[in-house]
Structure 1
């Protein structure tokens, strides 16, 4: 990855709606050169997709929960089964398989405690491989980003 690719990625991470013309101007390349670079970054898997970011509070999903999940068994098939189940749960935003306390850390949103409780029943209580879980509730507005600082390599 060279400096131009890194600059394009940093710009696009901050605003994926930038036009090719604005990107080309910012990195001192032609529009076709920027288009080719972006296509190459997509084709190689560096760029995974484009998203919009929705304010959860604006759609009445203002509660954020951090859940540490401990499994009964650590066999790979049980770990993968839980990961797949968590990925299908609409209220789960992030799911990490971790070392240390617990086996998974889940970041979940919900409208209220009742919605969260229903999710815990679907995802956790009804799973015989879940030994237990601990929940923390986010206080105030969280800082969130998916930005990855890119430097030329």
Structure 2
């Protein structure tokens, strides 16, 4: 599906629909329609329009990392050797393509990137750090913070 990413204003119906589908994107559109006081056809059109505009970027399953034996979650600070466009873009491409990198943020404040990385065990995590950071000439330094507990994880955005 092609995303046009054209800005479009959201009205109260769109916002109500977004609040619902963020919590349960498998809810039947007729149930969504009942909750927001629209017809199922109107809900379907609005969801399709928000997908086409790039407001709804995708539909995914949130997987319990413990259930798939990914017991290590690391928050990793990356400092690049320089902040030239080609260095940053190369790093973005590498991190985006690494399946172990669950989230990646290009940030300010002396650190170049913050990553959320998952691995099945410490040996696998060591291999990931070698491949993505230690052997990467663009990385000046990195620091790993190993999560003790996932207190909250998810991607629900507050829709005013």
Same fold (TM > 0.5): yes
Flag structure 1 segments of 5+ consecutive residues without an equivalent. none
Deviation beyond 6 Å, 4+ runs, structure 1: none
- Of structures 1 and 2, the one with the larger relative CO (CA 8 A, separation 6+) is 1
- State whether residues 65 and 107 of structure 1, in contact with CA within 8 Å, keep that contact through their aligned partners in structure 2: yes
Using the TM superposition, name which of 12-21 and 95-104 deviates more: 95-104
Residue 44 of structure 1, aligned match among 33, 36, 53: 53
Partner SS for 1:57:
coil
Q: When the two structures are aligned, how many residues end up with a matched partner?
A: 151
Return the alpha-carbon distance in structure 1 between the equivalents of residues 13 and 29 of structure 2: 14
Deviations 1:22-50 (A, max 9, x none): 01111011111111111111111101111
Return the alpha-carbon distance in structure 1 between the equivalents of residues 151 and 93 of structure 2: 26
The offset of 1:141, in angstroms, is 2.5
Return the alpha-carbon distance in structure 2 between the equivalents of residues 138 and 101 of structure 1: 22
- Judging by fraction of residues, say which structure has more helix: 1
The offset of 1:103, in angstroms, is 0.7
Residue 13 of structure 2, aligned match among 4, 8, 12: 4
Return the alpha-carbon distance in structure 2 between the equivalents of residues 149 and 140 of structure 1: 23
Matched, 1:120 2:129: yes
Residue 153 of structure 2, aligned match among 134, 137, 144: 144
Q: TM-score, normalised by structure 1?
A: 0.96
- State whether residues 91 and 110 of structure 1, in contact with CA within 8 Å, keep that contact through their aligned partners in structure 2: yes
Return the alpha-carbon distance in structure 1 between the equivalents of residues 106 and 53 of structure 2: 25
Aligned to 1:83: 92
Q: TM-score, normalised by structure 2?
A: 0.92
Aligned to 1:17: 26
Matched, 1:111 2:120: yes
Aligned to 2:5: none
Return the alpha-carbon distance in structure 2 between the equivalents of residues 72 and 119 of structure 1: 19
